[in-house]
A and B are shown apart, each in its own frame.
Chain A
């Protein structure tokens, strides 16, 4: 699992509250990514980062923001959680040479 951890692993939150998920990697990888995975589907890219303070939007970025103040940490914030954001969130990192390493996922439930 290549030194990439996500926290928390599970979270239940109420509609309208802000939520921050954390991804931490110890591989000194330049690139980091946040995905969401909904039941029976593959991963969809939310945001990604190609370096400290360099981030960009992915396919499903609405309602999400990210920050990367250090190489090892990539934070995903749901500004005002909605039920449609109930999902499993995965973080990944890579060196840029072709192989991405994934965290174990965060199961988020918005009630």
Chain B
């Protein structure tokens, strides 16, 4: 069974626009992480947010976490063509990030 589910499955925007992806999960978590995967490549860690945090920023990325709604969002501001990738949320209930449960991802296409 899947813990994290991303929404939408696919998103297409113009360069310069903002992109928002959402992740919902079912059970209480310790951490939630967002990863990026370029086509044919491995996953790259973007941000980890802990259950006692509500918002984190990293460059053009902003992640929010609402534990009452069991949801998280990833906002990419001023998107670039290079942001084209699949984005996954991963939730873990223990202390090991690698044991996280991954959703099926959101495929983001940024058109130049």
Q: Which residues of A are in contact with B by a Cβ distance under 8 Å?
A: 1, 31-33, 35, 40-45, 48, 50, 58-59, 90, 92-94, 96, 98-105
Contact = CB atoms under 8 A, between A and B. Distances in A.
Contacts of A42: 2, 4, 88, 90, 102-105
Given A40-B104, A43-B102, A102 B44 contact: yes
Interface residues of B, number: 26
Interface stretch (B62-70, B72-80, B91-99): B91-99
25 contacts: A31-B96, A33-B99, A40-B104, A41-B104, A41-B105, A42-B4, A42-B88, A42-B103, A43-B102, A48-B98, A58-B99, A59-B101, A90-B43, A92-B43, A94-B98, A96-B95, A98-B33, A98-B97, A100-B33, A100-B45, A100-B97, A100-B100, A102-B42, A102-B44, A103-B42
B32 to A, nearest CB: 11
Contact of A90 (B33, B42, B45, B95): B42
A85 B96 CA distance: 26
A50 B96 contact: yes
Contacts of B97: 94, 98-100
Nearest to A103: B42
A96 B98 CA distance: 8
Nearest to A105: B42
Contact of B98 (A1, A93, A105): A93
A81 B58 CA distance: 42
A90 B37 CA distance: 12
Which of B4, B48, B102 has the largest count of A CB atoms less than 10 A from its CB?
A: B102
